[in-house]
Amino acid sequence: MSERPDSAGPDPDDTFDEFAELVEEETRRDPDLAVIEAGSRTLRTQGGPPQADVPARPADPEVDKALREVEAELSTRWGETKLEPSVDRIAALMDVLGEPQRSYPSIHITGTNGKTSTARMIEALLGAFDLRTGRYTSPHVQSVTERISLDGAPVSAERFIETYQDVKPYVEMVDASQEYRLSFFEVLTGMAYAAFADAPVDVAVVEVGMGGAWDATNVIDAGVAVVTPIDLDHTDRLGGTPAEIATEKSGIVKQDATVIMAQQPVEAAQVLLKKAVEVGATVAREGLEFGVLDRQVAVGGQMMTLRGLGGEYTEVYLPLHGAHQAHNAAVALAAVEAFFGVGSQHAQPLDIDTVRKAFASVASPGRMEVVRRSPTVVLDAAHNPAGARAAAETIGEAFQFSRLIGVVGASGDKNVRELLEAFEPVFAEIVVTQNSSHRAMDADALAAIAVEVFGEERVQVEPRLPDALEAAITLAEEEGEFAGGGVLVTGSVITVGEARLLLGKG
C-alpha cells in the first residue's frame, strides 16, 4: 500500500471548523444514541483501477451453449426470493470445499440501498492500491457471470463454467445430506468463494443477498463490516420496521470487526451500535467519524470533498450522479481506510492521488446510466421507495430535462405505490410495462396503481418492454417546448437489464 499525508489543501483550522459543524449537526439529528455510544468504541483518527461493464453473451457458440446449460441447471434450484433462513447448507458446502472463504480477508456489505455501487467503489480503491480483488454482488443486470468479479472485471464465461463444474460434485453431495437442496444463491456464493481462493485474491468484497444474519454470504468473518442506509424492503422476510431489519443486517458484524455505518434511521442505528458493543466491534459513523464535506455537480458526475478516517480528501471526481452516490463514496473510502488500519493502527491518510484515480474509474451499470442520446435515455435500477426517491432527486439535479417520460416495470413483491409516488413529481408521463421475470407485476395491475397516482391522462400501458421503450422515446421526441425530453427506465434491476440489451449495451 502506498500512503502519504496530503500536505496541500485548505487551512487545517478551517477544515476542523467545517467538520465540527458536520458533527454538531449529526449529533443533533441523533440525540437518542448518546447512551449507546457511551458503551461503544468509536474509530477516530489522531492526526490500475478497474473499468467494469456488463458482459455480453459469449461469442463462441460452444461456450454460449455450455453457459446456457449451467444457467438451466441453476434455474432448477430455489430462486432468490424463496428462502429457508439458515446458513447450514452453505456452511456444509464450505466444509466439503475446504473452507475457501477463510483463505483471504474480506469486507462484507449489507444495507437496503447502495450496496453494489459501494462494493464497486471499494473494489476500485483496493485495486488502485495494487491489491488483487474478488467482488461478489447481486442481482446481475444482464449476465449471471457479472456477479463474480476478479481484478475489477466479471469472470469470463469459460471461468464461470469451469468453477461451476468444479463445485458441482460437492454441491450434489451437500444436496443429498440436507433437508433442502442448496438454492441458486447458495450455489453462486459457493462458486464465488471458491473462485476467489483459486485466483487467489488479496481481499474479497462481498455484498449480502438479503438481510445478513442468515444470508448465504455470512460464512465469512469479515474484518470490516459495511452497513449502507437501511430502509423498508423485503419486509415480509426481514421485518416491518427499520429496527427489525437492522437486527437481521447486524448479523454480519463479527467479533472485533470494524463497522462502517452510513447515516441510518435512529432506531436502526441503535440496533447496530448495540450489536457492536456486544461483540467488541469498533464503529465509524457517517457524519461523525467520516462524511461528505462538499459536493458539486460536474460534467458526467460530481466533484467531492470527503472527510475520511485519516483526514480530508479534496477534489475527488466521481463519474456517478446523485448525492446518494457521494455518500456511498464516503462509506467506501472509510471502509478501505479501516481495512488498511487508518484510525486504529496509524493516523496517516491514504495517498490522495491514488484515491482520486480510483474514484474517477468507478462505473456502476444501471445506476443513472446514460445509454442513448437524442433523446437521452437513462437507466436506473431503483426498485423500492427509498431508491426511487434518490433517483427522482438525482435526475432533477444531473439532467435538465424539460419533459421526462418514465418507463416503469416493477416486481410484484415491492411497494409499488410508494415507488410511483416518488416519481410522480418528475415524470410528465409514464409508460408502464413488465419484464420477462416471473416476479414481474402484470402491466395492467401496475397501470391501475399508476392511474391512481398520476391520473389516467398521464399513463400509457405497453405490456412488452420493446414497445414501452419505443413509446417513451416517441413521447420524448415531441417537438416545440418539449424538445429537451428524456426517458428514465426504472422499477427493477431486471427491467433495466433487459432495456440495456434492447438499447444496444452489452
pLDDT at 12: 45
pLDDT at 49: 35
Q: How far is residue 276's CA from residue 288's CA, in Å, rounded to a whole number?
A: 16
The number of C-alpha atoms within 13 Å of 498 and in the hemisphere containing its C-beta is: 21
Mean pLDDT of the chain, nearest integer: 88
The DSSP-derived string for 464-498 is SHHHHHHHHHHHHT--GGGTTEEEEEES-HHHHHH
pLDDT at 21: 56
Task: Kindly tell me if the per-residue pLDDT of 367 is higher than 50.
Answer: yes
pLDDT at 26: 45
Residue 449, helix vs strand vs coil: helix
Task: Kindly tell me if the per-residue pLDDT of 369 is higher than 80.
Answer: yes
Residue in 54, 48, 65, 49 with CA at minimum distance from that of residue 154:
54
Task: Kindly tell me if the per-residue pLDDT of 144 is higher than 70.
Answer: yes
Mean pLDDT over residues 81-91, rounded? 86
pLDDT at 504: 82
Task: Kindly tell me if the per-residue pLDDT of 47 is higher than 50.
Answer: no
Q: Work out the pLDDT band at 463, boundaries 50, 70, 90.
A: very high
Q: How far is residue 248's CA from residue 14's CA, in Å, rounded to a whole number?
A: 40
Strand order in the sheet with 291-298: 291-298, 301-308, 311-318
Q: How far is residue 431's CA from residue 443's CA, in Å, rounded to a whole number?
A: 10
Mean pLDDT over residues 260-282, rounded? 95
pLDDT at 239: 58
Q: Which residues pair with 258 in a beta bridge?
A: 224, 282
Mean pLDDT over residues 27-32, rounded? 45
pLDDT at 233: 60
pLDDT at 54: 76
Residue in 198, 199, 217, 197 with CA at minimum distance from that of residue 207:
217
pLDDT digits 0-9 by tens, 223-252: 999 999 998 665 555 656 889 999 999 999
Task: Kindly tell me if the per-residue pLDDT of 108 is higher than 60.
Answer: yes
Q: Work out the pLDDT band at 141, boundaries 50, 70, 90.
A: confident
DSSP 8-state code for residue 229: P
Assigned C-alpha cell, 10 = 485548505
Helix (H) or strand (E) holding 283: strand 282-285
